[in-house]
């Protein structure tokens, strides 16, 4: 299998995040893509997502599951708090 460039991988990650964004926005939340490094997608959850009790579920069962399924290079999604 031919190795894909970081630009291609990041483009696919951003497309999926942008498909999820309206659902987060409808609940007063949002997601910001920060970087992709060594198989890990770093995001920052914003707005209502920060204090939401379902944050871990949304992140792991929703966003991470989609990214792992559709972008073979992704192995995990991590929420960066602060900064």
Separation of alpha carbons 53 and 71, rounded Å:
27
CATH number for 16: 3.30.300.130
Confirm whether 75 is domain-assigned.
yes
- What does the pLDDT read at residue 3? 83
Residue ranges making up the domain that contains 27: 6-79
Q: How many domains does the chain have?
A: 1
Residue 1 lies in a domain: no
Question: What pLDDT was estimated at residue 1?
Answer: 58
Instruction: With a cut of 70, say whether residue 8 has pLDDT above it.
Output: yes
Note whether residue 22 is domain-resident.
Answer: yes
SS3 67: helix
User: Is 72 inside any structural domain?
Assistant: yes
The strand pairing partners of 78, in sequence order, are: 42
Q: What are phi and psi of 70, to 5 degrees?
A: -100, -15
pLDDT in tens, 13-56: 999 999 999 999 999 999 999 999 999 999 999 999 988 899 99
């Amino acid at each position: 299998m031919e190795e894909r460039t970081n630009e291609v991988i990041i483009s696919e990650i951003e497309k999926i995040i942008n498909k999820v964004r309206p659902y987060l926005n409808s609940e007063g939340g949002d997601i910001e893509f920060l970087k992709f490094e060594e198989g890990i997608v770093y995001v920052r959850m914003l707005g209502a997502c920060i204090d939401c009790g379902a944050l871990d579920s949304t992140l792991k069962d929703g966003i991470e599951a989609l990214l792992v399924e559709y972008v073979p290079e992704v192995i995990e999604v991590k929420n960066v708090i602060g900064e």
